Amino acid sequence: MSDNDLFGSIEKMDKDQMKFGRRKFAVILGVAAAGLGAWKYFESLPQTYHPRKVSFITPNDEFYSVSVNMFYRPKLDLAKWRLQLIGIDNKTSEVSLEDIRKLPSKTIYYTYCCIGNKVGAADISNATWKVAMLKDLLAPIMTDKREGVRMVSTGLDGYYSSMPLEEVLEQETYIAYEMNGVALPADHGMPARIIIPGRYGMKQPKWLRKIEITDRKVTGYWEEQNWSDDAQIKASSRLDYAKDIETEGADVLLGGIAFCGKSAVSKVEVSTDNGKTWNEATLETKPEKNVWTLWKYLWKRPQSGTYTIICRVIDENNKRQIEREQDWFPSGATGLHKVKLNLV
What is the mean pLDDT for each group of 10 consecutive residues in the chain (344 residues)?
A: 39 40 37 45 76 96 94 92 94 97 98 98 98 96 94 97 93 95 96 97 98 94 96 98 90 97 98 97 98 97 92 98 97 98 90
pLDDT at residue 43 in the model: 60
pLDDT at residue 44 in the model: 67
pLDDT at residue 257 in the model: 98
Residue 118's identity, in one-letter code, is K
SS3 125: strand
pLDDT at residue 127 in the model: 98
pLDDT at residue 40 in the model: 52
Long-range CB contacts (< 8 A, 24+ apart) of 265-269? 265/292, 265/293, 265/313, 265/314, 265/315, 265/316, 266/314, 266/315, 266/316, 266/318, 267/313, 267/314, 268/237, 268/293, 268/295, 268/297, 268/311, 268/312, 268/313, 268/314, 269/311, 269/312, 269/313, 269/314
Please state, in angstroms and rounded to a whole number, the distance separating the CA atoms of residues 49 and 316: 29
pLDDT at residue 130 in the model: 98
The HSE-up count of residue 107 (CA atoms within 13 Å, CB side) is: 8
Q: How many CB atoms lie within 10 A of CB 259?
A: 23
Q: Which one-letter DSSP state was computed for residue 287?
A: -
pLDDT at residue 42 in the model: 52
Is there a cis peptide before residue 330, judged by omega within 30 degrees of 0? yes
Q: Please, what are the domains in the chain? A: 60-225 (3.90.420.10), 234-343 (2.60.40.650)
pLDDT at residue 28 in the model: 38
Q: What is the DSSP string of 62-88?
A: GS----SSTT------TTT--EEEE-G
Q: Evaluate whether 21 touches 92 at the Cβ level (below 8 Å).
A: no
pLDDT at residue 102 in the model: 98
pLDDT at residue 193 in the model: 98
